[in-house]
Amino acid sequence: MAAVTAAVTHDPPPAASGRPGKPLIVTEDVELLDDLLRLCAAAGATPEVHHGVPEPRSSWEAAPLVLVGDDAVRRVRGAARRRGVVLVGRDQDDSGVWRRAVEIGADHVLMLPDGEQWLVDRIADVAEGVGRPALTVGVIGGRGGAGASTLACALAVTSAREGLRSLLVDADPLGGGLDVLLGGETAEGLRWPAFAASRGRVGGGALEESLPRLHSLRVLSWDRGDCVAIPPQAVRAVLAAARRRGGTVVVDLPRRIDDGVAEALAQLDLGILVVPAELRAVAAAGRVASAVGMVLRDLRVAVRGPYAPGLDDREVARLLGLPLAGEVPVESGLLRPDEGKEPPGVAGRGPLARFCKGFWERALLEAGGA
């Protein structure tokens, strides 16, 4: 258990139906109830309110989150033990609160007003029906022109074709726009500048619905304006919202590491460093890997031919001291996407598509997914 006075993460159990459920509030304290209702409203949730364990007791068991007022501990002692119970009080100096939390099997003890933001986030998770976070993969070039953006597009398109909720994020404001690469520069939807003022929590569902839909995936790219940087707080808020929706998120990263890119790296589960198999590219990639590795733990190398004499994919990985993600097939679309051609990976056939499908199969298996 933990006393909540700052951000603490804990995944609520999913509703039995698989759909978002209502939080359950158990209290007779009028002032506490007013506060909890206010916090539920701020999180966009409508709770169910009872003075004790509801009848039938299936409501207690099925609620994705149960907020028990400290005044109601005696009335819920006999309820079935379950995850997602939070004991809510006000007296920071009450040492007996821990004993009462143990009596009802609470996961957390929360004191108001200090824990308000944590509780709003937790209730909002319930309102959105949050489950397993998205597997989030970043792609970065070991040198300019390595083909990282095209590989990022192909990975996202392949994920969507496999039936996963998929989001492609363009984190490189100077890259020309991934919506252009996907043939959707005129598609309706918001681009990065619209989120520049984002702070705190961004609704995952609202984010998804606001973005252009291209080739069965959502794309967050740049417009053609002058904005070339997004504040780190906005990057954090947007990517956290994207991850809460589950599925996969692919982030196309620039080679420079500024505060915004560092925030993006912090959200990744793993990164792919795309490196052409030539000595100068390997040397450049070593510098990129060193900078990225200061933030991202799981960085792997994907090697792209043709190979310089004495190099192969394993040797490149050895020189960089990174795990080998595989050999990126050489295709004309990977090297130089031309206007009017199919976006990379859309056809679902060829070496690049097979590489991407194999990558997701391995990565999802490692992450414990299907």
Domain ranges of the chain: 24-128, 135-369
Q: 126-135, 192-201, 217-226, 281-290: which range is least confident on average? A: 126-135
pLDDT band for 337, please (50, 70, 90 cuts).
very low
CATH of 135-369, one of 3.20.20.60, 3.40.50.740, 3.40.190.10, 3.40.50.300: 3.40.50.300
**For 24-128, which CATH superfamily applies?**
Response regulator (3.40.50.2300)
- Overall average pLDDT of the 179-186 stretch: 90
What is the predicted pLDDT for the residue at 225?
Answer: 86
**What mean pLDDT is reported for the chain?**
88
Distance in angstroms (rounded) separating the CA atoms of residues 318 and 277: 12
What is the predicted pLDDT for the residue at 121?
Answer: 83
Higher-pLDDT residue of 339 and 145 is 145
What is the predicted pLDDT for the residue at 229?
Answer: 86
pLDDT at 4 over 50: no
At 297, give phi and psi (nearest 5°).
-75, -45
Predicted structure pTM score:
0.74
- Overall average pLDDT of the 53-82 stretch: 92
Residue 134 burial class via C-beta count within 10 angstroms: exposed 0-12, middle 13-18, buried 19 and up = buried
What is the predicted pLDDT for the residue at 12?
Answer: 41
What is the predicted pLDDT for the residue at 116?
Answer: 92
* Cα diameter, the chain: 77
pLDDT at 8 over 60: no
pLDDT at 334 over 90: no
- Overall average pLDDT of the 188-211 stretch: 89
Distance in angstroms (rounded) separating the CA atoms of residues 271 and 343: 22
Contact 56, 34 (CB under 8 A): no
Which of 212-216, 245-249, 270-274 has maximum average pLDDT?
Answer: 270-274
Same fold, 24-128 and 135-369: yes
What is the predicted pLDDT for the residue at 93?
Answer: 86
pLDDT at 7 over 70: no
Token pair 């909720």 in the structure block, residue: 165
Q: 55-64, 246-255, 256-265, 310-319: which range is least confident on average? A: 55-64
What is the predicted pLDDT for the residue at 341?
Answer: 63
Q: What is the 3-state secondary structure (H, E, C) of the chain?
A: CEEECCCCCCCCCCCCCCCCCCCEEECCCHHHHHHHHHHHHHCCCCCEEECCCCCCCHHHHHCCCEEEEHHHHHHHCCCCCCCCEEEEECCCCCCCHHHHHHHHCCCEEEECCCCHHHHHHHHHHHHHCCCCCCEEEEEEECCCCCCHHHHHHHHHHHHHHCCCCEEEEECCCCCCCHHHHCCCCCCCCCCHHHHCCCCCCCCHHHHHHHCCEECCEEEECCCCCCCCCCCHHHHHHHHHHHHHCCCEEEEEECCCCCHHHHHHHHCCCEEEEEEECCHHHHHHHHHHHHHHCCCCCCEEEEEECCCCCCCCHHHHHHHHCCCEEEEECCCHHHHCCCCCCCCCCCCCCCHHHHHHHHHHHHHHHHCCCC
Q: 60-64, 165-169, 327-331: which range is least confident on average? A: 327-331
pLDDT at 155 over 70: yes
Contact 184, 218 (CB under 8 A): no
pLDDT at 346 over 90: no
Percent of the chain with pLDDT over 90: 66
Distance in angstroms (rounded) separating the CA atoms of residues 306 and 313: 10
What is the predicted pLDDT for the residue at 47?
Answer: 94
Higher-pLDDT residue of 11 and 84 is 84
Distance in angstroms (rounded) separating the CA atoms of residues 21 and 362: 33
Distance in angstroms (rounded) separating the CA atoms of residues 4 and 122: 12
What is the predicted pLDDT for the residue at 9?
Answer: 33
- Overall average pLDDT of the 141-147 stretch: 93
The model's pLDDT over 83-105, given as tens digits with 9 standing for 90+, comes to: 999 999 998 888 899 999 999 99
The model's pLDDT over 101-119, given as tens digits with 9 standing for 90+, comes to: 999 999 999 999 999 988 9
pLDDT band for 70, please (50, 70, 90 cuts).
very high
